Amino acid sequence: MTYLSFLKSELLAVFYRKQDTINALAFFLIVITLFPLGVNPSADFLEPAAGGIVWCAASLAILLSVESLFKEDFNDGSLEQLIASGLYLPITILIKLVIQWCAVIVPLLLLIPLFSQMLFLPWSIVHVLIFTLLLGSPALFLVGTIGAALTVSLKRGAVLVLLIILPFYLPVIIFATGAISAAQAGQDYSGQLAILGAISLLSLALSPGMSAVSIKASMN
């Protein structure tokens, strides 16, 4: 196995598991629907809350889609093969993660204009929402991967992953919604975007290695 053949097989796997992407998007949509129904459907409430609602829904959808990142490979033994293959594990994890990110975030970004209209987010703010998702979501994927790697051997790990990983998502959510509300108030939001990028880079530095350690510990 080489990195290239691994990349090819992963791309194929994602292509054949289109349902996972659809599930993540459907989950995202239903969480967004909860807020107008549960709290208040008027534009007065939704317009200032839209950024927060999108980000809460995105965090949950991302975490749930990352949670099962290694599950199938663990169950059918290909994770063991991957460790034995001699490829550098952090890199292969990163490849897997980038593919997963493209599979979930790209369709999500394409649908964001639609979702933001459902939440009465003004057109002039939509691009800020897209920037925050582009810069912040890598951190969510990277940190979530550590949780997925730790719980790969557990039958029911989803709730556990949510419990241990969500606290680490808070800074990203805070700065992302901060950027959006700054943009809504007509202020400069580049600082928040810079911090989001910094958090993503820090996660990029730490997460693949830690995930590799966790996976190796789970396989023993």
Query: Could you list the residues that contact another protein (CB under 8 A)?
Result: 143, 146, 150-151, 153-154, 157, 160, 163-164, 166-168, 170-171, 174-175, 178, 181, 199, 206, 210, 213-214, 217-218, 220
Name the minimum Å distance from CB 216 to another protein.
9
Name the minimum Å distance from CB 25 to another protein.
28
Name the minimum Å distance from CB 57 to another protein.
19
Considering beta carbons, is residue 21 or 214 the nearer one to another protein?
214
Name the minimum Å distance from CB 13 to another protein.
26
Which of 146, 168, 140 minimizes the C-alpha distance to 57? 140
Considering beta carbons, is residue 32 or 146 the nearer one to another protein?
146
Considering beta carbons, is residue 138 or 178 the nearer one to another protein?
178
Considering beta carbons, is residue 39 or 206 the nearer one to another protein?
206
